[in-house]
Amino acid sequence: MAIIGVSALILVAMVVAVTVGVTVSRHKGKSGGEQTSTSTKAIQSICQPTDYKKTCEDNLSKVASNVTDPKELVKAGFQVAIDQLREVIKNSTTLKELAKDPRANQALQNCKELLEYAIDDLGDSFDKLGPFDFTKLDAYVEDLKVWLSAAMTYEQTCLDGFENTTGDAGEKMRQFLKTSQELTSNGLAMVSEVSTLFKALNIKTGRRLLQAAATATDEKRLDLATATPLTLKPDVVVSKKGDGKYKTINEALKDIPKNNEVKVFVIYVKEGVYDEHVFFNKHMTNVMLIGDGPTKTVVTGRKNYADGTQTYQTATVAVVGDYFIAKDVGFENTAGAIGHQAVALRVQSDLSIFYNCNMDGYQDTLYTQTHRQFYRDCTISGTIDFIFGDAAAVFQNCKMIVRKPLEPGLHGDSPR
């Protein structure tokens, strides 16, 4: 499963492209051999800060050897990705035959989903970068750190799913991901050093502080502190009593425009307990979920690890689409301490906001999985690891309530 590393390789190719582009411009008219040497030196230089230098140099040389045109470097990186995708399809078939254990089979399915998210992240990073604007380099670096860190998280979460499973599927997946993990780690190291690299080339860059988050909030034109269902004029209303368009939240999801960028799509969920598992997929962007209060509008579920569900899939509500907002809503998992890992809310949404919300559970209540997240005036309850994940998350004026776990001897060890 070298696909993640290959995607990271595309990122590396971009960084090398800039390096080569700048360096070659100082050597126009020189021979092809000297240009090849320039490309090789650029690769060696950019691989210097990585933990896996040989992996870095060997793979970059395949796409960057004798190439000095930045666009051609990137195209070569995409070609490698295409080739590896074909190989992944073959490997996935082999792993499916090995995943006889039910949990291993779940882990394999999760891996496919997780690795697709990683590919999306790195693909989006390439698309959003566009032509290099050196005055915005700092902004690029911060974004890329977030996206690459997310890719690394998805890789590791994939492997974690094979813990306590039988058969060889887990070990095979670990072997497939070895090079990918090394390349992704290298990509993150390169991005961390890229500012230093450009400073060495005397290229001035701009600065920013939470610029992306501020811009996203401004574009929404929402005052969350005063926003109500009445002032927001919701696009769809959900009510268990039947005085809305739908009686369940899942029914309302079909009305969300795919890859919405025009305006915030507002779903008003009236007071009630909604016993359903809700998944806002990656295409459900710029969505706002607003209720009548975190103890009045509650989404509840009870999936848990003890009953055989992987932690990643136990979430009552999972949010993947970017720019998600929730206000005055409660999210809970009622499996209890005996259920071990039982997630109430899992969030991957980049630049997401949760305002005056409750997340109630026991173990693993709030899974802040990846990207940038902001929580204001929220209450989170649980026992063990009840806030966990790898997101860049900010909690402002939030309350964390530690609940009493099971008595000693009843809980036992529960794997992550």
pLDDT value at 233 more than 80: yes
Burial class, 217, CB count within 10 angstroms (exposed 0-12 / middle 13-18 / buried 19+) = middle
**Mean pLDDT, residues 28-50:** 65
* Same domain flag for 256 and 353: yes
pLDDT value at 16 more than 50: no
Of 51-55, 268-272, 315-319, the least confident: 51-55
* Same domain flag for 249 and 364: yes
**Given pLDDT bands bounded at 50, 70 and 90, which one contains residue 18?**
very low
Q: Which pLDDT score, from 0 to 100, does residue 256 have?
A: 97
More confident residue, 278 or 141: 278
Q: Which pLDDT score, from 0 to 100, does residue 408 have?
A: 64
**Given pLDDT bands bounded at 50, 70 and 90, which one contains residue 206?**
very low
**Mean pLDDT, residues 128-152:** 72
The whole model's pTM is what? 0.82
Instruction: Give the SS3 label for residue 292.
Output: coil
- Containing domain of residue 88, as a range? 40-201
More confident residue, 14 or 390: 390
Give dist(CA 149, CA 228) in Å, integer.
35
Last residue of a domain, one of 186, 201, 216: 201
* Same domain flag for 75 and 196: yes
Is 385 one of the annotated active-site residues of the chain? yes
* Same domain flag for 182 and 49: yes
Give dist(CA 284, CA 390) in Å, integer.
22
- 269 CB-side CA count, 13 A: 29
Q: How many residues does the chain have?
A: 416
Residue with tokens 């930045």: 70
Strand partners, 269: 238
Q: Which pLDDT score, from 0 to 100, does residue 294 have?
A: 97
* Same domain flag for 191 and 238: no
**Mean pLDDT, residues 269-286:** 97
**Mean pLDDT, residues 395-399:** 96
Note whether residue 208 is domain-resident: no
Note whether residue 64 is domain-resident: yes
pLDDT value at 343 more than 80: yes
Cβ 237 vs Cβ 270: under 8 Å: yes
* Same domain flag for 370 and 237: yes
More confident residue, 73 or 88: 88
Note whether residue 261 is domain-resident: yes
* Same domain flag for 52 and 119: yes
* Same domain flag for 128 and 253: no
The CATH number of residue 177's host domain is 1.20.140.40
Give dist(CA 297, CA 285) in Å, integer.
22
* Same domain flag for 196 and 248: no
* Same domain flag for 285 and 323: yes
Catalytic member of 101, 124, 275, 385: 385
Note whether residue 169 is domain-resident: yes
**Mean pLDDT, residues 388-393:** 95
Of 59-73, 216-230, 306-320, the least confident: 59-73
Residues 24-42 as b/e (b if ≥16 CB within 10 A, e otherwise) read beeeeeeeeeebeebbbeb
**Shortest CA distance to 364 belongs to which of 383, 392, 338, 391?**
383
Cβ 387 vs Cβ 365: under 8 Å: yes
* Same domain flag for 140 and 254: no
Note whether residue 352 is domain-resident: yes
* Same domain flag for 195 and 270: no
The CATH number of residue 337's host domain is 2.160.20.10
Give dist(CA 228, CA 216) in Å, integer.
20
| Alpha helices by DSSP H, 240-319 | 249-253
**CA-angle at 298, arms to 292 and 300, nearest 5°:** 170
**Mean pLDDT, residues 105-122:** 83
The mean pLDDT of the chain is 78
